[in-house]
Structure 1
Amino acid sequence: MSNSAVEITLLGRTYSIACPKGQEDALRIVAQGVEQQLSTLKNRTNSLSREEIAIMAALNIGHELYQEKQKNKHYMKQMDDRISLLQSTLENALVERSTK
């Protein structure tokens, strides 16, 4: 799979990022989210350097990702429990039917 270059702008600087073909829109959407985080932090704390703003944004985004992974684990556990209950119910129904 070949890559294409996508230009994104973060805090006024433009970067050319290599991106797999077909993923350009996803990269642009992610870049918009990162830019929003960076701009929010920059506006709240004018005393931070670009590097500190980037680190804070990375930590915020990492925390959001962690929370989503935890939600996904919880959801997967719920689905596993429901599937087990459904399998058990079906097995019991089949056993009852075969004994009649």
Structure 2
Amino acid sequence: MSSHAIEISLLGRTYSIACPPGQETALQHVAQKLEKQLTSLKARTNNLSREEIAIMAALNIGYELLEEQQKNQDYNRQMDEKIGLLQSTLEDALVERSTKED
């Protein structure tokens, strides 16, 4: 599969970004979210350069990603515990059933 370029706009500048076929909507959605964050940062901190705004946005997005990864790990840990409890309960029930049949 070859990529083709789509255009996105960030802080008034247009960028041509390579995008795999079928992923255009996802890339545009991400670009819109990034634009909102960049615009918000720019409005709150007028004295920052484009580069500094981009770094701040990257740090914010990185932090959000880290939080989501932690939530996902916590969820997976909880599910592993519940599955373990369910397996143990089933094993106990099977042992109990087999002793009753004897």
| Total equivalences in the alignment | 100
SS at match of 1:18: strand
Pair member with larger Rg: 2
TM-score by length of 1: 0.97
1:5 corresponds to which residue? 5
Question: CA offsets, 1:13-69, max 9 Å, x none?
Answer: 011100111111111111111101100000001100000000000000000000000
Q: RMSD across aligned C-alpha pairs, in angstroms?
A: 0.6
Q: Which runs of 5+ in 2 are unaligned?
A: none
SS at match of 1:51: helix
1:34 corresponds to which residue? 34
2:56 corresponds to which residue? 56
Distance 1:63 1:50 in 2: 20
Deviation at residue 5 of structure 1 after TM alignment: 1.2
SS at match of 1:73: helix
Distance 2:37 2:78 in 1: 32
Percent of pairs with identical residues: 73
Distance 1:67 1:80 in 2: 20
Q: Any runs of at least 4 consecutive aligned residues in structure 1 with deviations exceeding 4 A, and if so which?
A: none
Distance 2:40 2:25 in 1: 23
Distance 1:86 1:4 in 2: 49
